[in-house]
Structure 1
Amino acid sequence: MHCQCIHSFGQPLVADERPDMEPEGTEIIVRVTAAGVCHTDLHFREGGFDLGHGRRLNYADRGVELPMIAGHEVAGEVVAVGPNAGEIDTSKTYVIYPWGGCGECDLCKAGEEQVCANPRFLGIHRDGGYATQIRVAHPRYLFDAGDIPAEIAAPLACSGLTTYAALKKIAATAHTHTPVLIGGGGLGLMCLQLIKAQGMKMPVVVDINPAKREAAMSAGALAAVDPAAEDAIAQIHAACGGAPLALIDFVGAEKTADLAMNVIGKGGVIVVVGLFGGAAPWAIPMLPLKSVTIRGSYTGSLNEFGELMALAREGKIAPIPTHVYPLEEADQVLNMLEGGKVIGRAILAGV
């Protein structure tokens, strides 16, 4: 099998050749037909996250060992099944839920494996999908893609699930009030499609990149605002018909966090999804004075992924712009993503 690995944090990916995988126990081996390229992969290549004030969260300090095959948005076909995995339909294309946990704690037993204290995430703690094969620990992580092409289905495992779970946290408000999305990249565009699919109010999208603002408008955004404009807050309020009560930050940077607090109305909810990095810039008294709820949202649960895949198989989620690249160009594609040159989603396929 061919794979694109991280051998040293902060360094380019390395092309490796390894023996084909053999399953044990409940494991399933999947032939990868599409692997999405995500900002989380960028952070993994870098080796961690900027926490602001000169601090970092480093994967090496958290026990992540290298080399590791990158990639967690994966779709493919089953080629081998372990003796304890049960009956698996090998004629289907599957999307893999990559956010597995220990499987034993109360959170895992409740289906909330994505917040397990001992994660087993693909592409971070276990070899991922920048490869021709991937090892899946248990059949519960396989979700039928139906008639969805692999390159469209693969990003649902992160881009789709992350936005779906974040939207659930503002759903009560977003059906009656115009929400705001900060970030018009792959997550923002996916969110626009999920908002349509669920009958919510179309949002105002905020992005510094004019090409991404144009893509958001083409995808149905109510308005697209440049945050660098002197009157950006006034533009957002005007488009929303007042200060919004729900906002999702798909960037997660100090500047976007500051903008979110200045934009949100009293009693509103800010959901932070992005991991760009930095420290919170808010004045603490503004939290009680505005009665704002600020919460994080990290991917989504097994149940939420099942709900999302049901929507997708029913054809309720229109595909976002997708560009397919050869697997051996994985590092170059990551560089493109880092430079803001990817509109929609980039996918790796084949060798």
Structure 2
Amino acid sequence: MKKAEIVKLREALKVCITDIPDPPRHGLVVKISYSGICHSDILQLKDEVDFGFEKKRYSANPKYKLPISPGHEMSGIVHSIGSDLQNNGKLKIGDRVAIYPWRGCGSCRFCDQGNCNFCSVRDTCYGFGIPGGYASHVVVPEARSAILVPDAVPLDVACMLPCAGVTTYNAVSHVKPVIETLLKFQDKASLLIVGAGGLGLWCLQIAQAVLPSNTKIIIADISEEKLATAKLRGCDDTVLWSRDCVEDDVVAATKEKGLRGGFDAVVDLVNSKITSERAFNCLLTSGIQVMVGLFGGAANFSLPMIALDSKRIQGIHVGSLNQLKELMELVAEKKLTPPPLQYFDLDEVNDAIDLVKQGKIRGRAILKFGV
């Protein structure tokens, strides 16, 4: 990690060393048990995101400016409850909860239905505008953001569901109706997942749980080790997208892994220029390409082929509060297996972030708070 990034992170973590806050009237305070380390946290420390046509700095938005404790993947125990919630019977001290981190204005038609990710005022979430989960305690201003965690779901698994989990659940939810429609005309369907890291393994588990059983699932990645893990987790096949491959050759090899010379659906969890263009070239007629990743850059597609082949391109930005509740129930019912987890103490967060940046975490990195 660069010296400037270390200084920023140390400044941010200073805000974690405070007295335990009081709960707001309509909210609560959660004692954090686990907090995931997400690539978005690294973008904030790097202070730059590439939108393809321009690069923007997080610090340009005062709500994102450090110092603030990062972290938006959180689970823990209810420590205290605001006065207006103490007798409502919904939450009580000691409850196990995961925190939905995405916040909008709180009063528009989207927010009223739990779709804060669609709100036009969606630029504030935990770790960005509100102190986040790299801390022992977190204030939750609105009680509806605290989702009860079933006994069947461990808290270290639960902390990943409000971001990595619900994002991939949303992606698969968009893929599902397309595949179900195509299966009315064909015996089998195919799905390509781009990326075999933590999101890719969640996407695989969720796809296996909710898609028709005659859906062939292939995973692509640049890491043979990560592909081996994906194979162990039950994907039908893998394809290595080597960094030094010839583009025509890797597209041909990928198409061979699908059905009828390609794929009915693609979920791109990287979403770079290379992966998005490659995914589009592997997509069959009437297929759907779901773009999730924030790697950055700009892509070139054949616009006429989108129309002529009835291809669909769908962007996904996290998921809704209701989808998180559905996912929590799905994980409990189906006993979904999380990606491999690597635990770190808070004072090891610099090392953890370095490993995430270098792609050396085989699954997900999680901060553990004296559980």
Residue 104 of structure 1 is matched in structure 2 by 107
Shift of 1:312: 1.6
Report how many aligned residue pairs link the two structures. Answer: 343
Question: Relative to 1, partners in 2 of residues 1:9 and 1:126: Cα closer, same or farther, differing over 3 Å?
Answer: farther
Question: Relative to 1, partners in 2 of residues 1:18 and 1:155: Cα closer, same or farther, differing over 3 Å?
Answer: same
Residue 35 of structure 1 is matched in structure 2 by 35
**What code does the residue aligned with 1:57 have?**
K
1:278-319 C-alpha deviation (Å, 9 max, x unpaired): 112324333334332111101100111110011122243122
Q: How does 1:232-251 map to 2 (within 5 A)?
A: 232-242=250-260, 243-251=262-270
Residue 333 of structure 1 is matched in structure 2 by 352
With the length of structure 1 as denominator, give the TM-score of the two structures.
0.92
For 2:322 and 2:345, how far apart are their aligned partners in 1?
A: 32
Say whether residues 1:19 and 2:19 are aligned partners.
yes
**What code does the residue aligned with 1:210 have?**
E
Residue 4 of structure 1 is matched in structure 2 by none
1:91-115 C-alpha deviation (Å, 9 max, x unpaired): 3211111112111112111221122
Q: Which runs of 5+ in 2 are unaligned?
A: 184-188
Shift of 1:11: 5.2
Q: Which runs of 5+ in 1 are unaligned?
A: 1-7
**What code does the residue aligned with 2:198 have?**
G
Say whether residues 1:279 and 2:298 are aligned partners.
yes
For 2:62 and 2:276, how far apart are their aligned partners in 1?
A: 29
Select 1:172's aligned residue among 152, 165, 177. Answer: 177
For 2:139 and 2:102, how far apart are their aligned partners in 1?
A: 13
Q: Secondary structure at the match of 2:349?
A: helix
Question: Relative to 1, partners in 2 of residues 1:10 and 1:46: Cα closer, same or farther, differing over 3 Å?
Answer: farther
Q: Secondary structure at the match of 1:157?
A: helix
Maintained 8 Å contact 1:95/1:142: yes
Q: Secondary structure at the match of 2:275?
A: helix
For 2:216 and 2:57, how far apart are their aligned partners in 1?
A: 37
Say whether residues 1:296 and 2:315 are aligned partners.
yes
**What code does the residue aligned with 1:125 have?**
G
Name which of structure 1's ranges 84-93 and 147-156 shifts more when overlaid on structure 2. Answer: 84-93
Question: Relative to 1, partners in 2 of residues 1:202 and 1:128: Cα closer, same or farther, differing over 3 Å?
Answer: farther
Shift of 1:256: 0.6
For 1:290 and 1:40, how far apart are their aligned partners in 2?
A: 34
For 1:109 and 1:289, how far apart are their aligned partners in 2?
A: 39
Maintained 8 Å contact 1:92/1:146: no
Residue 145 of structure 1 is matched in structure 2 by 149
**What code does the residue aligned with 1:241 have?**
L
Q: How does 1:1-351 map to 2 (within 5 A)?
A: 12-14=8-10, 15-16=13-14, 17-53=17-53, 55-64=54-63, 65-85=65-85, 86-87=88-89, 88-119=91-122, 120-147=124-151, 148-175=153-180, 176=183, 177-200=189-212, 201-228=215-242, 229-230=245-246, 231-242=249-260, 243-350=262-369
For 2:315 and 2:5, how far apart are their aligned partners in 1?
A: 26
Maintained 8 Å contact 2:170/2:318: yes
**What code does the residue aligned with 1:172 have?**
P
1:159-215 C-alpha deviation (Å, 9 max, x unpaired): 110000010011023454111111111000011111122244241101011111111
For 1:195 and 1:202, how far apart are their aligned partners in 2?
A: 10
Maintained 8 Å contact 2:201/2:338: no
Maintained 8 Å contact 2:75/2:97: yes
With the length of structure 2 as denominator, give the TM-score of the two structures.
0.88
Question: Relative to 1, partners in 2 of residues 1:265 and 1:117: Cα closer, same or farther, differing over 3 Å?
Answer: same
For 2:342 and 2:321, how far apart are their aligned partners in 1?
A: 27
For 1:115 and 1:62, how far apart are their aligned partners in 2?
A: 19
Maintained 8 Å contact 2:81/2:92: no
Maintained 8 Å contact 2:102/2:126: yes
Kindly indicate which of the two structures has a greater share of residues assigned to helix.
2
Name which of structure 1's ranges 158-167 and 314-323 shifts more when overlaid on structure 2. Answer: 314-323
Q: Secondary structure at the match of 1:203?
A: strand
1:249-276 C-alpha deviation (Å, 9 max, x unpaired): 0001111111111111122111100001
Residue 186 of structure 2 is matched in structure 1 by none
Question: Relative to 1, partners in 2 of residues 1:112 and 1:266: Cα closer, same or farther, differing over 3 Å?
Answer: same
Maintained 8 Å contact 1:11/1:46: no
